[in-house]
Structure 1
């Protein structure tokens, strides 16, 4: 790791080091590093029973789906049970965080007892049949003798187990700062056992909005550069706001903010909260600008909704996508992940919609990507029911729990402008072509090509919001307001890399 690769939050800690230590070290809060360490130490104890590549492969083979009938059909009662199980897991994760002082105790007996209890809750002891993690240690076919031998080995490796347990619990700590490729240092919300996505019909596909809204009349390369110009304009738009400019708790995730306020992007919304996923599976956005529960008219027949039928879908069923968070953890440790085609946390951001929706993101630059056929996700369908949709709507406080009233005023109208923009800022074009190492001649050629298809690069910067509108929003939603609504203090667990 190089000094210039450190994030602002990592550099802040590095700056506190003595000068002689600064010269030979860097600082990281890498989630990828943490899981590589967990993997290494678990293998020391369990050997080949910790083979995460094989585990990922076995999981993915179970979740290959091509059509609606391939999906598991679950009842609304089963979904209520899933909600109850998720709440039990949340209580367990809170208890684990509360145990950290005991696990970190200087008294060996106290620390040892707490470490074993926490390991049981996590599911990483040889005799654990339940726990928050069910995949990372393969216990299939384990004999009684092997179990006893492993228990003896664990007693001899208590210091190692202590390191594993503390590293695993860290991701349940509210506000812990963790660094990821592409997005930087995230001030995370507590990890959950599953990631979810809810859709209010079987659409026959599930793709990022940027790729669903591509213009078939445009050549692919033109569409690609127009998409990138719009993404950059959308992300840059947020730098107008004081709360964004002064936010230092984490790296601002501009793309996630833009996505959550309406920009068509290459990412898909995922959530750590089942009720949030159910809200999007059971509700619709009305012409009045408000969310409403689905009614019988929306799902009575397969073709109740014309837009769904046109896509080859089925209006009668809602779809839930679910993926165990530990599978993603294993992918971080075992694969050369660069931040694409993997689930990433959005965490606490300057605006509250991401927090309220317990937001995660899945980003892909593959324009043909379809979550429906991605084996990372288990797919379930359930028959839509008016009473259940109403119940989910009420449980979500009529949508206010998902779209909080105390958030920044709705920015979707500005994102809509950018989605349909044909005029782009000179600075955005220059930054994009610089990234692509374009020569001056190549830039002229691109301007001419874009103009041919009705797109123009302006002499100055395109303004999507007036100074008066901006002043009103900044007055109503300040950085102080953002910190107040976050309600969580950043937690730091930096790792020192000597010689890095």
Structure 2
């Protein structure tokens, strides 16, 4: 029977980078362990909630309770090194990633786009990906809940949202829920409908690699920025005196797992989502911080997991943004950008300044570049992706009127300085406190 040892590993000698084959009974063991994690997490939350009620008049809790809350309890506002405040969801003690077949390299989508390209081309591909992500951010800002969320609750993590809604980034998805990972390891994504379906016999028997599903696992203390996984990073950056936040695209945050937290669009927290920057990091197959688990795919298992996750709704909730899927697909293929988009890519993308000393150098290079046979162009004005008032109204109807405190579990703990920052963001966005 599979179980976690005292250090959180499932198998002996985890650092040997061995692939472990498991059967259906051992998958059931892991599903039972997932339920145990739920009970553990709920217990931690209740303990912290009682202490919060007891100490509600204190400005700060004692460090033991504060540490417990930050690490494991939903509703805590945390300032991250990439310059965003998040509201945490409940943490568990493990990370997983599920893939529905064996791959030679598990790396982010941007890295796959750059595969086999020169350094020069890689910089341009990165710049285009960043400009598309920014256009996505500008588009979703039209949805009422997005600016309202930033004004009242927490920052919008553009990179994480872009990653979860189909855009190329340097981020790899992880989850702290085994069931979520098992779903992704046993179901197939349909790009046209932005949805998942169970695997068929044809899917499974397509190649030798597609006969297997793969789960990557690591205890959270190994990777989690909030649970010890950032110790070496903190030691390396102990004497940093910088005003600007770290960029995911600098490589300086590579290999750490960051909780996405609650976001105004629902997919991230429904998937208990974490992101791991991998601008330069080794693929998971070579990363000995992860245990590699393999199992034989079957239609029966795929259908069972699909039903267990309520036909994908538990982790792929129906939400209004799906009504603008054609627009999202258009932005994902965009080749026309604004000067503002270019400036963002140049600054936030940590463009190689030896290769492109000025933004003019990047502009000249990127407009001489082709993507899928199309030339890239930069214009002065913003690029507008029009959405009909009726469709926007339908999207807003999915979110407006919803009690956002219900979404985050009706418990938010933030320090006074974080509260003041949020009030300032509200004034920046709406011109007043609302």
TM bracket (short chain): 0.7 to 0.9
SS of the aligned residue for 1:171 comes to helix
2:363 corresponds, among 426, 447, 455, to 447
Structure 1 residue 239 and structure 2 residue 141: aligned? yes
Aligned-pair CA distance for 1:192: 0.6
CA distance in 1, matches of 2:88, 2:381: 37
Aligned residue in 2 for 1:281: 185
Aligned-pair CA distance for 1:88: 1.4
Q: Kindly tell me: are residues 410 and 254 of structure 1, through their superposed partners in 2, closer, same or farther at Cα, counting changes over 3 Å?
A: farther
Aligned residue in 2 for 1:191: 91
- In structure 1, list runs of 5 or more residues that go unmatched: 1-54, 107-161
CA distance in 1, matches of 2:292, 2:197: 24
Aligned-pair CA distance for 1:459: 2.4
Aligned-pair CA distance for 1:391: 0.8
CA distance in 2, matches of 1:412, 1:475: 15
Structure 1 residue 415 and structure 2 residue 319: aligned? no
SS of the aligned residue for 1:268 comes to strand
Aligned residue in 2 for 1:332: 230
Aligned residue in 2 for 1:384: 297
SS of the aligned residue for 2:231 comes to helix
Give the number of the structure whose residues are more often helix, by fraction: 1
| Residues 197 and 306 in structure 2, CA contact (< 8 A), matched pair in contact too | yes
CA distance in 2, matches of 1:411, 1:346: 23
Aligned residue in 2 for 1:79: 27
Q: Kindly tell me: are residues 458 and 474 of structure 1, through their superposed partners in 2, closer, same or farther at Cα, counting changes over 3 Å?
A: same
Structure 1 residue 212 and structure 2 residue 128: aligned? no
Structure 1 residue 264 and structure 2 residue 168: aligned? yes
SS of the aligned residue for 2:218 comes to strand
Structure 1 residue 372 and structure 2 residue 285: aligned? yes
Aligned residue in 2 for 1:150: none
Residues 145-172 of structure 1: per-residue CA shift (max 9 Å, x gap): xxxxxxxxxxxxxxxxx84365225433
| Residues 69 and 76 in structure 2, CA contact (< 8 A), matched pair in contact too | no
SS of the aligned residue for 1:219 comes to helix
Aligned residue in 2 for 1:294: 199
Q: Kindly tell me: are residues 223 and 406 of structure 1, through their superposed partners in 2, closer, same or farther at Cα, counting changes over 3 Å?
A: closer
How many aligned positions are there?
A: 372
SS of the aligned residue for 2:215 comes to strand
Aligned-pair CA distance for 1:473: 4.6
**Structure-2-length-normalised TM-score:** 0.75
2:383 corresponds, among 449, 462, 481, to 462
Aligned residue in 2 for 1:63: 15
CA distance in 2, matches of 1:411, 1:485: 25
Bigger radius of gyration among the two: 1
The root-mean-square deviation of aligned C-alpha atoms, in Å, is 3.4
Q: Kindly tell me: are residues 382 and 442 of structure 1, through their superposed partners in 2, closer, same or farther at Cα, counting changes over 3 Å?
A: same
SS of the aligned residue for 2:210 comes to coil
CA distance in 2, matches of 1:448, 1:493: 45
CA distance in 1, matches of 2:83, 2:297: 36
SS of the aligned residue for 1:292 comes to strand
CA distance in 2, matches of 1:401, 1:188: 19
Aligned residue in 1 for 2:73: 173
CA distance in 1, matches of 2:262, 2:50: 28
- In structure 2, list runs of 5 or more residues that go unmatched: 1-6, 55-61, 238-251, 370-374, 418-434
CA distance in 2, matches of 1:469, 1:370: 44
Aligned-pair CA distance for 1:431: 3.7
| Residues 78 and 85 in structure 2, CA contact (< 8 A), matched pair in contact too | yes
Aligned residue in 1 for 2:372: none
| Residues 200 and 317 in structure 1, CA contact (< 8 A), matched pair in contact too | yes
SS of the aligned residue for 2:401 comes to helix
Aligned-pair CA distance for 1:416: 2.6
Aligned-pair CA distance for 1:430: 3.1
Structure 1 residue 347 and structure 2 residue 251: aligned? no
